[in-house]
Structure 1
Amino acid sequence: MKFAKQLETEAEDIPQAWRPYLIQYKALKKIISKVTQEIESRGLSASLLHECLDDENKDNKLPAIRYYFTGEPPHIKPNIEVIYDPTEPKVQEILSRLTSTDAQTPKLEYKRSQNNKDFFTMHSETEMVVQSQNMVDLVKELLNVMTIDNSDESDEICANQKRETKSFVIELEQDDEFFKLLLKELNEASKLQDETTEKFKQDISALESRMSKVASPGQKRTDMYNWRKIFSIYMDACIFQTSNTTIEKSKKQLQWFLSELDKTDQLRKLKNKESKLAFEQFMALNTELITMKHYQMLNQTAMRKILKKHDKQSGLTASSAFHQVIPTEHLFSPKLARMLYATITEKLTSVVPQPEDYACPVCMCVAWRPIRLECNHVFCVRCLVKAQKQKMDSCPMCRHPTAVRDATALNLDESLQNFLKLYFPQEIKDKKRDNEREQAIEDVQAMTGKRYSEEQLLRMSQSSNCCIM
């Protein structure tokens, strides 16, 4: 399928209001044919430009030709510049023929001089469709003026470097129209992206406010644990986490997320209507984020392909020259989707904290009775006591030499303890039960002198029917 047709097909997945802000590939494609005619009417065939611009004057030989832009965005103009040695008699002869009034040769009309550059455009009376082989031959002849004596080539190159050079510049009017349209569309796409991003952030804040009401631990019919499970599955889905995640992959992972919720019957467990509305809003945000990513991809592909077609048909090098003057990274960067995804997870996990973020790094359970060491790492009191009994002095995380040894009851982080009590009541209940069971086993071992293997202790700690005493 040709890209123009593919773009039309995929644009159907983009909201109606966004479609006018897609790069108008077909309109730009039509201008390229005019650019090609303009190039040929100036005596610079596409094949000649391919040959000259691909080499980019690697040996600093004169004459040389280059394609570049002048001005500042959004007012830039494309130009072809021929750099030459003004003292070379052969060059002067060819230049005079290029600007002659010969009826068979389209005339280059002088416009101005600036910084040793003479600027020309096509004579206003010359038709754009004129194609002159005479002019092509003249330009080829000019570019082929090299050292007459091959034996003195190296000396001549050194001399060229010391000589003062001049250049004549041909301003490309149709090429200018092409890039005016492209820049206009990129500017409109940038405005749409900025507006959509700002609206997205406002929607996230609105969802955060709604979530604070339905998932607050102080509510009588709170959905905190249901939402915690939903977010846990959402994080496992990895819908936007990597930069190379494709649109298809993001859609697939979003469907996986929904199917996992169905398997666990999680949505039916939501206790109030506001929670269900919050979930619908949450899903709308994710769908919109995928749509924005798709929109970015379509515009990026359209720009890359239209510049490639421009270069292929005209012989110019816009694909590289354009990006040097117009930075487009912010328009097509995958970082935007990841940044907005990070905003979602940061805002919503602040409302519904995840137990993994407050786990003791030793037992991987919620760090109940949290002891904050001198190095600022936090452990549950049970794991810290066991470490001290084993004569462990240094922190297992950062190897601070005395952090564990010097820890006392004064290291209890009371504000964190109150936070854990508020947001993780069930986890704390489970932790207390495990601590009591483990303490009972240690007490029995101390009284009887009988030692249990690690496997036996594990089985007893995992068995809810285990009763010692």
Structure 2
Amino acid sequence: MKFGHKFADAMANEGWPQTWVNSAIPYKGLKKVLKQIQAELEALGLDAATLTQLRQPNLDEEGRHRSGVAFQYNFKDQETLVPKLTFFVDFTDGEAVNALLTPATRNYLRVAAQERLGNSLDGQAETPPPSTPSSEEQVYFIKELHYSSSSVAAEVLENTQRVEIPLNFDSKFFELLQNDIVSLDKLQAKEQTILLDDIQALSRSLTRVAMPTRFPLFQHSDLYRWRELFELYLRANIFFSTNETDSGVRDYAKAKEQLQWFQTELGKRGIEAKFKLGESRLSLARFVKINMNLLLNLNFQEYNQNAIRKILKSKPPGRWVFSGDESSDDCPEFDKKTSLGAAKMFPNLFLAHTIMSGTIATAVCQQVTQDLIGIVPQVDDYTCPVCSDIHYRAVRLDCRHILCIRCTIVLQRVEYSRALCPICRSDTLLSATIDNLDLKMECYLERFFKKEVRSKQIQNQTARGREEFGINYKHPTEQSCIVQ
């Protein structure tokens, strides 16, 4: 299926709101304008084959480029995107020196040059000397024509004239494309704001259902259920991967796969059924909806990105094909029709837009981490780097790194002569005393990680008991009652 049919089918059947569809890239309309651009250039005798040959070196017997014509295609600026096709023509006896030019093209360039200079080139009228290209244009001209001799370059520049050709349909093409991209940017910004507002509203709900309670017998909290849920969510890396092998924003297909895995794991673990509060179930439904809406946005964004890349023919991800090194299959659609060599302009003109950079997924993921996952702290963020267990009774060394009290004592005993911080290797371990205990951290962990703190307390007491009473010591929680 051709991309145009696939794009139209997606707009009709992917379930996007009509406002989204109305803002989509008009792929078929742009293709029609491209044909009009091609016809406009051919009417001037500047078909694709001619322009392609003008870009190629044409050496004489002495190895010098003697085509007599060079052109550059650029834009007025990056905001208005008004294209300009400028020819630098070497005239001899009033005629353009280039065997590749058709008579119609030669005549057009001669007339255009006469109109620009206000006189004929055959010397019949007395007018001020014709202006030569500016220094910047001269540099471009020399580089484009590959002159091997500076004397030859100077000789040709004396007869070189600058001719600008207006391209009406080119302006229409880029105006249409730019307006659609701006419209898509506005739509993306609006949808991003909606998603961020939903996340903030959900964070207020999570504050009520996932905060620890002072009186567990009379108050309920789903702290541990939400912690398990967010642990799964972080492991899924749905929209943004932090793995070394595939870091960055995920594409739609991978994001959809990871979201399905996340929902399947939720069902297997029965997390929703474990919720004690009805508001937690409502919050879970809202959380899943936020992710589904973001996935829908990502799909819509990718289709429009592909439409832009197809019409400009770049190679995703992020690699644009430059004129002069493309194959016939990879040639940009615009350059394929016109051979103007404009592909090198496209990255700077379009990649800065939101629709092409894909910032919405990054922004939403950052907000989820900050406003949702931040409410429910994860155990991995409070583990001792030595024993990989929660660093209850945290000892904050003078170098600001944190160890649990048990590991600090063991390292001070075992490595007395060379006790260094296990993270930065600074000489701060031996100087740690009871004053280095982080009491605020201790209270925080006791509040949010009651089960983990209790387990750590038992481990510490067991280790201390074995030091005092031998390796057969068992903590009271490991012993059964023997009273008959």
State yes or no: 1:273 paired with 2:278: yes
Partner of 1:89: 93
Q: Which moved more, 1:154-163 or 1:204-213?
A: 154-163
State yes or no: 1:173 paired with 2:171: no
1:73-122 CA deviation, whole Å, 9 max, x = no partner? Answer: 44222222211345x43646889x769989xx99759775798579xxxx
- Would you say the 8 A contact 1:311–1:317 is kept in 2? yes
State yes or no: 1:5 paired with 2:5: yes
Partner of 1:367: 391
- Would you say the 8 A contact 2:406–2:460 is kept in 1? yes
Shift of 1:40: 0.1
Instruction: Please show how residues 148-167 of structure 1 align to structure 2 within 5 Å.
Output: 154=149, 156-159=151-154, 163=158, 165-167=160-162
State yes or no: 1:203 paired with 2:198: yes
Q: Aligned with 1:386: secondary structure?
A: helix
Match of 2:424 among 389, 392, 398: 398
User: One-letter code of the match for 1:223?
Assistant: D
1:361-383 CA deviation, whole Å, 9 max, x = no partner? Answer: 11111111111100001111111
Change (3 A) 1:54 1:256: farther
State yes or no: 1:377 paired with 2:421: no
**Whole-angstrom distance in 1 between the partners of 2:436 and 2:156:** 74
Q: Which moved more, 1:242-251 or 1:257-266?
A: 242-251
- Would you say the 8 A contact 1:62–1:84 is kept in 2? no
Match of 1:191 among 182, 186, 189: 186
Shift of 1:224: 0.5
Partner of 2:339: 315
Partner of 1:132: none
Q: Which moved more, 1:195-204 or 1:9-18?
A: 9-18
Q: Which moved more, 1:300-309 or 1:240-249?
A: 240-249
Partner of 1:291: 296
**Whole-angstrom distance in 2 between the partners of 1:322 and 1:466:** 75
Shift of 1:67: 4.0
**Whole-angstrom distance in 2 between the partners of 1:466 and 1:67:** 89
TM-score between the two structures when normalised by the length of structure 2: 0.77
- Would you say the 8 A contact 2:86–2:164 is kept in 1? yes
Partner of 1:354: 378
Q: Aligned with 1:72: secondary structure?
A: coil
Partner of 2:224: 225
- Would you say the 8 A contact 1:371–1:381 is kept in 2? yes
Match of 1:216 among 197, 204, 211: 211
Change (3 A) 1:358 1:25: same
- Would you say the 8 A contact 1:98–1:108 is kept in 2? no
User: One-letter code of the match for 2:419?
Assistant: D
Change (3 A) 1:361 1:80: same
Change (3 A) 1:115 1:226: farther
Q: Aligned with 1:5: secondary structure?
A: helix
**Whole-angstrom distance in 1 between the partners of 2:455 and 2:52:** 73
1:387-445 CA deviation, whole Å, 9 max, x = no partner? Answer: 111115210000112x1100011011111111111111111011111111222222223
- Would you say the 8 A contact 1:42–1:108 is kept in 2? no
Instruction: Please show how residues 87-166 of structure 1 align to structure 2 within 5 Å.
Output: 88-89=92-93, 91=95, 116=132, 154=149, 156-159=151-154, 163=158, 165-166=160-161
Partner of 2:327: none
Shift of 1:338: 2.7
**Whole-angstrom distance in 1 between the partners of 2:56 and 2:370:** 48
Instruction: Please show how residues 340-351 of structure 1 align to structure 2 within 5 Å.
Output: 340-351=364-375
Q: Which moved more, 1:210-219 or 1:10-19?
A: 10-19
Change (3 A) 1:264 1:93: closer
**Whole-angstrom distance in 2 between the partners of 1:365 and 1:249:** 33
Work out the percentage of aligned pairs sharing the same amino acid. 29
- Would you say the 8 A contact 2:185–2:353 is kept in 1? no
**Whole-angstrom distance in 1 between the partners of 2:154 and 2:281:** 80
Change (3 A) 1:79 1:110: farther
User: One-letter code of the match for 1:394?
Assistant: L
User: One-letter code of the match for 2:433?
Assistant: T
User: One-letter code of the match for 1:319?
Assistant: A
- Would you say the 8 A contact 1:368–1:381 is kept in 2? yes
Shift of 1:207: 1.2
TM-score between the two structures when normalised by the length of structure 1: 0.80
Shift of 1:222: 0.8
Change (3 A) 1:158 1:30: closer
The total of aligned residue pairs comes to 419
Partner of 1:24: 26
**Whole-angstrom distance in 2 between the partners of 1:93 and 1:56:** 12
Change (3 A) 1:250 1:100: closer
Q: Which moved more, 1:308-317 or 1:273-282?
A: 308-317
Change (3 A) 1:201 1:108: same
Match of 2:52 among 50, 53, 62: 50
Q: Structure 2: any 5+ residue segments left out of the alignment?
A: 118-129, 135-144, 242-246, 313-331
**Whole-angstrom distance in 2 between the partners of 1:204 and 1:264:** 24
Match of 1:440 among 452, 456, 465: 465
User: One-letter code of the match for 2:346?
Assistant: F
Q: Aligned with 2:163: secondary structure?
A: strand
1:10-49 CA deviation, whole Å, 9 max, x = no partner? Answer: 3332333211121110111111111111010011011112
Q: Aligned with 1:299: secondary structure?
A: helix
- Would you say the 8 A contact 1:65–1:80 is kept in 2? no
Partner of 1:137: none
User: One-letter code of the match for 1:264?
Assistant: R
Q: Aligned with 1:76: secondary structure?
A: coil
**Whole-angstrom distance in 2 between the partners of 1:348 and 1:60:** 65
Match of 1:36 among 35, 38, 48: 38
